[in-house]
Amino acid sequence: MVWIGLGLGVLSFAAARLIAFGTLFRLAVDLRSVRLMRLLLRLRLDPFRPDPNGYAPWLHVLLCGSPAMVEAVFCENACRPLVLGGGSTLLLPAAAFGSEEAVVRLLLDHGADPTGPRTALPIFRAIGRRLGCRLFGDAEAADEGLRIARLLLERGADIASYPEVAALAARAGDDELVALFREFGG
């Protein structure tokens, strides 16, 4: 009986530790504390492992963190090529839609594929960001979307195979985006 109780105690401690680490990791991102994040990573927090609610701290870093935070995850977890292997199919599109250009550049510099599967093409997400932000009057975010689209096209994203996207930009009256597509053969 003592062994069962001890075993349950260890399991509950481990579960609480995972939950607390995930929460602390998100707190570090919200506070923009690269130092706290590095400490948590050195304590073996796995930013790629989802918490009990299915939320991976890595996505919080990607969408809310700074380029320095994304770099810290790469530096502390350089042995995790999963991020840029099979796991990158959604990371780069998420970054193209919700992060800074510098974060997208960092992912590309670490080997993320700008082409991706058609259902989650990073270029589509960057264009969606551009057009959506223009629609709602957020010029700064719209310009960021345009810069990310240019970066993705420079790194090999294919727009020529998707003429409907250029047509959408033309219908939306986005002359800068249409010019960008023409520059890259779209």
Higher pLDDT, 25 or 79: 25
What is the 3-state secondary structure of the chain?
Answer: CHHHHHHHHHHHHHHHHHHHHHHHHHHHHHCCCHHHHHHHHHCCCCCCCCCCCCCCHHHHHHHHCCHHHHHHHHHHCCCCHHHCCCCHHHHHHHHHHHCCHHHHHHHHHCCCCCCCCHHHCHHHHHHHHHHHHHHCCCHHHHHHHHHHHHHHHHCCCCCCCCHHHHHHHHHCCCHHHHHHHHHCCC
Q: What is the pLDDT of residue 22?
A: 62
pLDDT value at 155 more than 80 = yes
User: pLDDT tens digit string along 74-119?
Assistant: 776 644 544 444 545 567 888 888 888 988 898 888 778 887 666 5
pLDDT value at 4 more than 60 = no
- pTM of the full predicted structure? 0.75
Q: What is the pLDDT of residue 151?
A: 94
Q: What is the mean pLDDT of residues 153-161?
A: 86
Q: Can you list the domains of the chain with their CATH numbers?
A: 1-79 (no CATH), 80-186 (1.25.40)
CA distances from 80 to 47, 111, 174 (A): 10, 12, 39
